[in-house]
Structure 1
Amino acid sequence: MTGEYRSALVGTGCQLPGRVFTNDEFVATIDTSDEWIRTRTGIRERRFALPSETASSLGIEAARKALENCQLTGNDLDLIICATVTPDMMTPATACLLQSALKCRHIPSFDLTAACTGFLYGMSVADQFIRTGTCRNVLVVGTEILSRAIDFSDRNSCILFGDGAGAVILQATKEPNRGIRSVNLFADGERQRFIQVPGMATITQPGEQPIKYLQMNGREVFKFAVQRMVELIHHANEEAAKLGTHISMLIPHQVNQRIIDAALESTGFPADRVMVNLDRYGNTSAASVPIALDEAIREGRAKKGDTVLLVAFGGGLTWGSSVVTL
């Protein structure tokens, strides 16, 4: 391929696990209630993976839906990027499992880890491959099985998370006002202890308790998320104006209704132009934004020609945004 290419979003898909886990089901193991969870988070229920479901199995189904949505097959793909913090295995990469299941050619396939911002990092990497002319069709998947990484005795964190997968197909286009218009990515490793998920190779320092499950400093994460979301919205509005467009819809990381409300109050962004589904799915980390994006498109809330703002923030600490014209 030659010439000036951009990355158009031509297909989306998502897959949610079969088990619905309501707030009331936590009452048997921790001191909480449906009202306590709803008023503090906005979450009513979430999906947990069945024993047979994995990050790869959910990702495969989301990818198949995204391919079908744009009438492509695995054979049309040139690259697969999978964002996850809960892979099936340390190796092979979950992306390689997707490559096999989708019957792709021997295309490059790799995982990317940036926690809840992982999907936006993945979209940015895919965009570079397309803009340089290396790839024409790229699959980007965010998939998580967080239910296997949380401490169900910690009422401050276990109530927040759920499982799921979302996928998009990015395709090379020469249309000047379509596709990914801008990307902004950040990280602050100085505050990495605010959110941590251990792995098989995680070591314990002398005098410290071993980390067995996801650990999170909720108070600090809340302040960080509101601050960064406000900054990203302001910056995106300025970018959109320079591009001669406006933000039709905000699709944020689905983490906590209070965080979203605080950011909207500070920025003045209209609540009726925000896609929220955290009440049904909770925080699905890297899968959060693509699931919400897919639902917004399927429900007709985001249509072809609309410019949407994708925003995420999470462990690392990482945060980022992308302005995309559908």
Structure 2
Amino acid sequence: MESGEVGHTLTDLGETAARRALTAAGKTAGEVDLVVMGTATPDMLMPATVNLIADRLGIDGVPTFQLQSGCSGAVQALEIAGRLMSTGRYRTALVLGGDVSARHYDLRVDVRTLSPAEVVNVVLFGDGAGAAVLGVEPTADSVAVRTVFTRLTGLGREPGQVIRWFGLADRGHEQAAGAEDYKMIEESVPAMSEEILKELLDEAGWTSSEVDYLLPPQLSGRMTRKIVDRLGVPGATEVSCVSEVGNNGNALVFFQLERALAAMGRGERAVGIAVESSKWIKAGFALEKV
């Protein structure tokens, strides 16, 4: 940030996250037979960032998928990987999520000259990537995915967030690369989170009192507090990290998962909630340590 230069790409961050995830799972890249990634900010339109990461890892000859989505993209990637694995064709999936926001903003700008809406974007969003390894068979100390769902709910609703790509023909216009309606997000996300939690509990057959860990949406520290208070799961331990790592989009779910999985004991349960505010996608998952 001090230099005003971006020193990494999403491919760089994704490779690091993937290697850490494979090591933690005791797997090699050669054992991966499926790769799925969620991101709103790929390094390029082509080639897909997921394929650049796979290339660096030495993964080849397997299906790869890249999902274009905001903060729910990581959960969408988990759902797609799980559904494909349920066919019996795949045994080990590498699932990634991440975003790089810095290159969409002028890091050398004097924030004192910006409007409040512009300041939010510059100070709130950051860069990061995360990864997880899914398998079809329980292992010692493993966590089972009990349910995952994602659902578009944006019919007729204006986008809450926009990120634009510019080509040679339109590079000179004055539109901002990124913009968001933070007031709309502030009003919508807590209510959507409450709806997601109810649906997750219904699908899993759990009550709120049976939830041990809550992974709420990570918009900002203040918004996370507001959402957690509204969800009303007092017996659950909140797993949040946005105040430490910033809002790095699709990476945040993995940062939360890393903390939750390290803390969960046998039989304990966790629910995670994500909301994509560009065109309003609900997403969530429920986990249980077996």
TM-score if structure 1 supplies the norm length? 0.76
Which residue is equivalent to 1:71?
26
Q: Do the aligned residues in 2 keep the contact of 1:86 with 1:144 (CA within 8 Å)?
A: yes
Shift of residue 237, structure 1, vs aligned partner: 3.1
The one-letter amino acid paired with 2:144 is: G
Count, aligned residues: 274
The one-letter amino acid paired with 1:196 is: V
Single out whichever of 223-232 and 245-254 deviates more from structure 2: 245-254
Which residue is equivalent to 1:212?
176
Which residue is equivalent to 1:286?
250
Shift of residue 272, structure 1, vs aligned partner: 6.0
Shift of residue 304, structure 1, vs aligned partner: 5.0
Mark the CA change 1:68 to 1:271 in structure 2 (over 3 Å): closer, same or farther. same
Mark the CA change 1:203 to 1:302 in structure 2 (over 3 Å): closer, same or farther. farther
C-alpha separation in 2, matches of 1:288 and 1:203 = 34
Shift of residue 318, structure 1, vs aligned partner: 1.6
Root-mean-square deviation (CA, aligned residues, Å) is: 2.8
Q: Do the aligned residues in 2 keep the contact of 1:254 with 1:284 (CA within 8 Å)?
A: no
Q: 1:183 aligns with which of 141, 148, 170?
A: 148
Q: Percent identity?
A: 24
Which residue is equivalent to 1:313?
275
C-alpha separation in 2, matches of 1:52 and 1:150 = 14
Mark the CA change 1:244 to 1:318 in structure 2 (over 3 Å): closer, same or farther. closer
The one-letter amino acid paired with 2:76 is: Y
Which residue is equivalent to 1:172?
136
Q: Deviation string for 1:202-245 (max 9, x for gaps)?
A: 998xxxx7533211000001111111111122333333435999
C-alpha separation in 2, matches of 1:323 and 1:285 = 20
Mark the CA change 1:224 to 1:245 in structure 2 (over 3 Å): closer, same or farther. closer
Mark the CA change 1:304 to 1:167 in structure 2 (over 3 Å): closer, same or farther. farther
Mark the CA change 1:304 to 1:68 in structure 2 (over 3 Å): closer, same or farther. farther
- Secondary structure of 1:170's match? strand
Shift of residue 257, structure 1, vs aligned partner: 2.7
The one-letter amino acid paired with 1:128 is: R
C-alpha separation in 1, matches of 2:208 and 2:189 = 28
- Secondary structure of 1:229's match? helix
Which residue is equivalent to 1:96?
51
Q: Do the aligned residues in 1 keep the contact of 2:212 with 2:235 (CA within 8 Å)?
A: no
Shift of residue 309, structure 1, vs aligned partner: 0.8
Shift of residue 50, structure 1, vs aligned partner: 6.5
Say whether residues 1:200 and 2:180 are aligned partners: no
Which residue is equivalent to 1:132?
87
TM-score if structure 2 supplies the norm length? 0.85
C-alpha separation in 2, matches of 1:220 and 1:257 = 17
- Secondary structure of 1:191's match? coil
Say whether residues 1:115 and 2:70 are aligned partners: yes
Shift of residue 94, structure 1, vs aligned partner: 0.7
Shift of residue 75, structure 1, vs aligned partner: 0.6
Say whether residues 1:323 and 2:286 are aligned partners: yes
Shift of residue 178, structure 1, vs aligned partner: 5.5
C-alpha separation in 1, matches of 2:249 and 2:4 = 14
The one-letter amino acid paired with 2:270 is: V
Single out whichever of 180-189 and 147-156 deviates more from structure 2: 147-156
Mark the CA change 1:192 to 1:183 in structure 2 (over 3 Å): closer, same or farther. farther
Q: Deviation string for 1:52-75 (max 9, x for gaps)?
A: 411011001100010001111111
Say whether residues 1:266 and 2:230 are aligned partners: yes
Single out whichever of 141-150 and 55-64 deviates more from structure 2: 141-150
Which residue is equivalent to 1:160?
124
C-alpha separation in 1, matches of 2:120 and 2:70 = 19
Mark the CA change 1:304 to 1:56 in structure 2 (over 3 Å): closer, same or farther. farther
The one-letter amino acid paired with 1:323 is: A
Mark the CA change 1:57 to 1:241 in structure 2 (over 3 Å): closer, same or farther. same
Mark the CA change 1:295 to 1:96 in structure 2 (over 3 Å): closer, same or farther. same
The one-letter amino acid paired with 1:309 is: V
* Unaligned ranges ≥5, structure 2: none
C-alpha separation in 1, matches of 2:166 and 2:156 = 23
Single out whichever of 58-67 and 181-190 deviates more from structure 2: 181-190
Single out whichever of 244-253 and 111-120 deviates more from structure 2: 244-253
Mark the CA change 1:274 to 1:320 in structure 2 (over 3 Å): closer, same or farther. same
